[in-house]
Structure 1
């Protein structure tokens, strides 16, 4: 059966019962959105402030490939397995974006028998969070143009407007546009662009805010552009932040759903990891830590992007740190990194697998040596995997200073990941050292970029044109204490997607930098990464359909 067919056959528990029986939440804590999903009141955080935090488990992965790695599936399967062995576990994952859902990737709610449900709702609109984020973002864009139209009291320079528009859909035609056409009644003519919602600074702010008060403050701190004399201008100066926060009031509350095995799950927030910081919301993670003994969360794409930003951005700002990491790998993906073509991955090839293990080793070295994290490798099983290939990975990982556990959660649900769950619990019961940040706040922006590029990516140098270097130097004067949010291809340690395996001694080219003042980080654009993806030649939307009874097909 397909993922969507498995999800549609699930027997779900009423969300009010799930909340009461599994999380101890009273009816007044919930705002149901139908029978199987609900918002959870932020009052829970105040009421449970004195509770000790549970253990935080970060699920990350090797560099992604077209063969798939199953990071979200493993995150869900591990949480189900922890509950199966008698531990209280809650999974925290991001909300899917409809851009990739209708584009190349398809749905993103797990897979096989390790999914969060209701799957169709989660992938399509859900509780409206992304619509609220897009509305808040575009309200600010409209108010900026309106301010210019009605006298431009702040003397905003139309050539230096830093705030674009967003839509939750892949649409390459919107990457560069002109607004204000049609005469003076329609505003001031200027160049503009659209980004995808998950790249919006509002999304980043939304996911990093601990409260409604902080959300409103951060929204007010958004840099909207510069006046003609070079003075930076912010959203609070055109009085946009209050209305923006009002649009996000309900969205900020975590979304409670469940896994196929009726275990609780928070699905909330969804910044991309290649062009944003790639983590679910701080409020849902912190709430989960109060409600459960074990919290299993993920960070987007490979550890070089997702885990790095999870630690250096999210954890730094939220005051939390992971207790350990699970690194997901597959035989197929490792053989792809070893040089095989996609059509060759089903055949046993120990030579290609051995070569591809360099990618896994680099990610493990980064997590264990650079961040000081305890790690276990989860081998996400595929039916084509041979015993010899599995054994090769297990033996190689031992030489890397970790242990690899075979997990069959896609086919067997939580039962297939019990061995992984037992290993995770055993590691967490041992004493550990604290996870480290890669760089201190006081380090300069260019040096921070260098630390990430050289220590994590294996680059031997970082280069940028003079105008980019000048921009970084200018930002460093006032914002040098901010972390950097690296935006690059997820498919390679380098900025070249074609360099598989563990690329080393390469040059990282910084194309541009953007200040996300409200979010509190500087986005570093490397290579040809796009903040507005396009649709592939055969988009997933072509396969998605609905019958006369309302049953959706082809979603995943």
Structure 2
């Protein structure tokens, strides 16, 4: 394992030699008239940059994904940042595009999302705490719509909304399990209509997903108007536009739609924008950030949440369908210890000590869990994209175990590279950068998994059988009725975003590796019409996380100099 003397992420970040953020923008081809400074280290980029950069050469487009996550963490963001830095070491210019961290995980178990070690986005405190307030703008816009909805009920319910068919909950960017299910409107008659509802975390808001998929301010305004918040007693959908809320929501998001510009420890440009949940939404950063980044260097590297069966599948079939951009290569991050976990031999629980046997030299255990890597490589190839396996190395690994991963990749026809970017920065990802550069030169055969015109059931079943390895799909009576309703309402042309556990390729988090022969259970289906997708729910999805027994919030404080301490 990493030696105890290895400096913390925060101490490494504070020793960084940052370039003036205007210089970082200049290297991307962004003139000062396109920039809006937020302090000395962050810039917002005006949307007019998309048109002004339109004649610049187009970058190679690379998505970073991974094997199925484990509680250990595979270092996907760290690899994304390290790869961006690695291109500089082979004489290429790269731009990185990632999601904005949610403060819920930052103060919970996971910690921040700036990368780690010597492959970080800086200033990491700014990134992980508020940034330019985009999360708060999403929270405000979402809750304004909730307030307008409840006010409509209180003021006579002219639209005939069925209070039992209200689907719009409130959001907050804090882990708070006590708010998952609540009753509102208690008290006097003037305090509103009593009904049961709840809170989700802001990252799970449809407004967040809508922000991430909009390609302009006008598009955002139109999408906000299409958000469905409830149904009438006759089953007709009720939208934000009908409630008169969409315009004010757009006003609250007018600045939030502009991407944020930061840099890495080695001064590689980083676009940080939007943070949609990876379980029930796309789990990808924004379309507008990519439309800027695709014209700002030789390579644009973006990250997709969770494994290739989730974030990458949604990147290919939802985000690329919306943006019109086509990827040139995909990086699949794998670690020795995660593949050992997929062997099913180890009990690994977040926040608890790891089994000592996990660190023994055992290539057999790596091979036993390699079915997951094989399937995730296959999932990338299903979309006609060339995969590259990034072997994210830890000091506790053994060369024999790395050889197994490399051999599996080669058997699947994929390039592979061992990476030490956590300890060595961009220099440790130079081999990966070379492999990605070679892969991106292969002729592109990118394709969507399903056509727009397929039925919602056909789309769900295509993903279930081809990506997840399921044998069949079972729809509950409720899900079947909902699918029929959405088809009649004209939502059938939307892509689907399957909401399932991220801890298995299947819908059962206890199944490791690459299980087959199982049935995907669809218990209900919801429509994110503003964002532009339908999401079938397969299992229990927590959209408001809770805090652990000893959350990170207990360790974060101000030191005697007023500086932030304990942030990770």
TM-score norm. by structure 2 comes to 0.95
1:471 aligned residue = 482
Matched, 1:174 2:182: no
- How do residues 115-154 of structure 1 correspond to structure 2 at under 5 angstroms? 115-154=120-159
Q: Does the aligned pair in 1 maintain the 2:416–2:435 contact within 8 Å?
A: no
1:454 aligned residue = 465
Matched, 1:3 2:9: yes
1:68 aligned residue = 73
1:25 aligned residue = 30
Residues of 2 paired with 1:123 and 1:524: CA distance? 31
Q: Deviations over 1:224-263 (max 9, x none)?
A: 2122332221111121111101100111111000000011
Residue 136 of structure 1 aligns to a residue in which SS?
A: helix
In the alignment of these two chains, the number of paired residues is 553
- Aligned with residue 292 of structure 1, among 275, 291, 297: 297
Residue 392 of structure 1 aligns to a residue in which SS?
A: helix
1:355 aligned residue = 368
Residues of 2 paired with 1:460 and 1:395: CA distance? 29
Q: Does the aligned pair in 1 maintain the 2:478–2:523 contact within 8 Å?
A: no
Residues of 2 paired with 1:545 and 1:500: CA distance? 38
Q: Does the aligned pair in 1 maintain the 2:170–2:198 contact within 8 Å?
A: yes
Residues of 2 paired with 1:149 and 1:127: CA distance? 35
Matched, 1:329 2:334: yes
- How do residues 19-418 of structure 1 correspond to structure 2 at under 5 angstroms? 19-20=25-26, 22-341=27-346, 342-343=354-355, 344-368=357-381, 370-418=382-430
Residues of 1 paired with 2:565 and 2:425: CA distance? 22
1:555 aligned residue = 567
Q: Does the aligned pair in 2 maintain the 1:454–1:461 contact within 8 Å?
A: yes
Residues of 1 paired with 2:238 and 2:402: CA distance? 56
Matched, 1:523 2:535: yes
Between 118-127 and 82-91, the greater mean CA deviation after superposition: 82-91
Cα deviation, residue 383, structure 1: 0.3
Cα deviation, residue 426, structure 1: 1.9
Residues of 2 paired with 1:246 and 1:16: CA distance? 27
Residue 237 of structure 1 aligns to a residue in which SS?
A: coil
Residues of 2 paired with 1:144 and 1:158: CA distance? 10
Q: Does the aligned pair in 2 maintain the 1:508–1:527 contact within 8 Å?
A: no
2:496 aligned residue = 484
Residue 78 of structure 1 aligns to a residue in which SS?
A: helix
Residues of 1 paired with 2:411 and 2:322: CA distance? 35
Residues of 2 paired with 1:433 and 1:267: CA distance? 27
Between 352-361 and 497-506, the greater mean CA deviation after superposition: 497-506
Cα deviation, residue 318, structure 1: 1.2
Cα deviation, residue 427, structure 1: 2.1
Matched, 1:14 2:20: yes
Structure 2: tracts of 5 or more residues without a match: 1-6, 347-353
2:351 aligned residue = none
Residues of 2 paired with 1:535 and 1:253: CA distance? 31
Between 531-540 and 418-427, the greater mean CA deviation after superposition: 531-540
1:438 aligned residue = 449
Residues of 2 paired with 1:26 and 1:48: CA distance? 10
Q: Does the aligned pair in 1 maintain the 2:415–2:435 contact within 8 Å?
A: no
Residues of 1 paired with 2:549 and 2:165: CA distance? 35
Residues of 2 paired with 1:340 and 1:168: CA distance? 36
Q: Deviations over 1:465-497 (max 9, x none)?
A: 212211112212321111111111111011111
Q: Which runs of 4+ in 1 moved over 4 A?
A: none
Residues of 1 paired with 2:32 and 2:237: CA distance? 46
Q: Deviations over 1:281-312 (max 9, x none)?
A: 00001100012221001100100000000011
RMSD of aligned C-alpha atoms?
A: 1.2
Residues of 1 paired with 2:432 and 2:476: CA distance? 47
Residues of 1 paired with 2:42 and 2:304: CA distance? 23
Cα deviation, residue 192, structure 1: 1.0
Structure 1: tracts of 5 or more residues without a match: none
